[in-house]
């Protein structure tokens, strides 16, 4: 088939050859997914996203559009599991050039992408707001956080110093430089929770402080968290003012007599097991994000904007394809 095309068509450049080959290599199913995501991006770009990346210069309407840039990133990230920018660019050059004939150089592509940090953030927020599943239990939420690692704690962090610092991850038992990604998710029976909000903080920030700053004004809600959220006085006050409650596993009291510990052990163990079972899906949500986007590893990032693109771009890629695949 390719030999016939080469004989019958006048091909003068390698770029045209790439276009013909890429047309033959992409499966029809992937073509339809690419078209779907591009149409969705164009629609939301005209209503919301264009305000985050407007240009006030003679180059206000580049040949290679922002819509094409966003589509390439999201498609290659999820559909082809291309997690590095160089991999995304090379995949586009090899297989998608007929769809995006105005693809710029890698340097220009990378520079344009780093300018889209706010665009990806708004895109992720829009997806979570508009496509909330109907089976979400709106009066019950799960809480947890995970590290976004820019480098190990044995080294000195030099990337995005204004928003990152050194912290400790108890789950992995390691010190690291980077950020924390905090999630507040609606409970869904027998399914992964659906995120209501994501919040970023420095790695050293306590999860309880983030809750107090971001979500303490939520009313009529039952929260399920781990022991880091344990603060009896604060949540007693919250229950009176907002009718919201925090349920966490029971934490042992330092210096408590052994007799009292054993007296309460059975009830405390049952309660802790019940709470942990309810909140376990939020950990599965983070594991799912890591598996399909590699969001936790940000060691290749070299700027603050690049780090924000890394985080919000991957969140958008995960949930936009969850929508189309469903």
Q: Tell me the three state secondary structure of residue 180.
A: strand
Cα gap 166→150, rounded to integer Å: 10
What does the buried/exposed string (b/e) look like for 181-204 if buried means 16 or more CB atoms within 10 Å of the residue's CB?
A: bbbbbbbbeeebbbbbebbbbbbe
Task: For residue range 257-271, list pLDDT tens digits in order.
Answer: 666 666 677 777 888
pLDDT of residue 251: 77
**Residue 134: which residues within 8 A CB-CB, separation 6 or more?**
none
pTM of the model: 0.86
Mean pLDDT, the chain, integer: 86
- In this model, does residue 240 exceed pLDDT 50? yes
Task: For residue range 71-111, list pLDDT tens digits in order.
Answer: 999 999 988 899 999 999 999 999 999 999 999 999 999 99
Percent of the chain residues topping a pLDDT of 70: 86
Cα gap 118→312, rounded to integer Å: 9
- Position of tokens 């033959």? 24
Domain layout of the chain by residue ranges: 2-115, 135-302
Helix 28-47 to helix 66-79 angle (10° resolution) is 140
pLDDT band with cut points at 50, 70 and 90 for residue 252: low
59 or 270: whose pLDDT is higher? Answer: 270
The two beta strands, 194-202 and 174-187, are antiparallel
pLDDT of residue 139: 94
pLDDT band with cut points at 50, 70 and 90 for residue 159: confident
pLDDT of residue 262: 67
Q: Is residue 207 within 8 Å of 168, Cβ to Cβ?
A: no
Mean pLDDT across the stretch 283-307?
93
* Closest of 70, 79, 195 to residue 145, by C-alpha: 195
* Closest of 247, 254, 253 to residue 272, by C-alpha: 247
pLDDT band with cut points at 50, 70 and 90 for residue 173: confident
């Amino acid at each position: 088939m390719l030999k016939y095309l080469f004989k019958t068509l006048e091909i003068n450049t390698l770029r045209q050859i790439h276009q013909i080959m890429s047309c033959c290599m992409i499966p029809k199913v992937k073509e339809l997914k690419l078209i779907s995501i591009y149409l969705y991006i164009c629609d939301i770009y005209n209503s919301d996203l264009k305000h985050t990346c407007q240009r006030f210069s003679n180059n206000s309407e580049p040949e290679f559009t922002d819509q094409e840039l966003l589509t390439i990133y999201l498609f290659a990230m999820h559909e082809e599991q291309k997690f590095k920018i160089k991999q995304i660019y090379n995949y586009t050059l090899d297989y998608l050039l007929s769809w995006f004939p105005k693809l710029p150089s890698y340097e220009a592509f990378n520079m344009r992408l780093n300018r889209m940090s706010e665009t990806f953030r708004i895109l992720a927020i829009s997806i979570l707001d508009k496509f909330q599943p109907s089976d979400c239990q709106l009066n019950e939420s799960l809480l947890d956080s995970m590290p976004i690692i820019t480098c190990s704690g044995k080294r000195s962090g030099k990337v995005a110093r204004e928003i990152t610092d050194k912290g400790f991850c108890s789950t992995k038992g390691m010190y690291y430089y980077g950020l924390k990604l905090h999630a507040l998710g609606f409970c869904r029976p027998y399914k992964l929770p659906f995120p209501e909000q994501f919040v970023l903080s420095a790695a050293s920030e306590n999860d309880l402080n983030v809750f107090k700053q971001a979500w303490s004004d939520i009313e009529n809600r039952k929260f399920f968290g781990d022991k880091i959220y344990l603060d009896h006085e604060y949540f007693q006050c919250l229950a009176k003012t907002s009718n919201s409650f925090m349920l966490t596993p029971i934490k042992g009291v330092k210096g408590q007599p052994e007799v009292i510990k054993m007296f309460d052990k059975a009830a405390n163990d049952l309660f802790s097991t019940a709470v942990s079972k309810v909140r376990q899906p939020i950990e599965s949500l983070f594991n799912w994000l890591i598996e399909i986007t590699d969001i936790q590893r940000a060691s290749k990032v070299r700027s603050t904007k690049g780090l924000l693109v890394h985080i919000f771009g991957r969140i958008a890629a995960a949930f936009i394809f969850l929508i189309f695949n469903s």
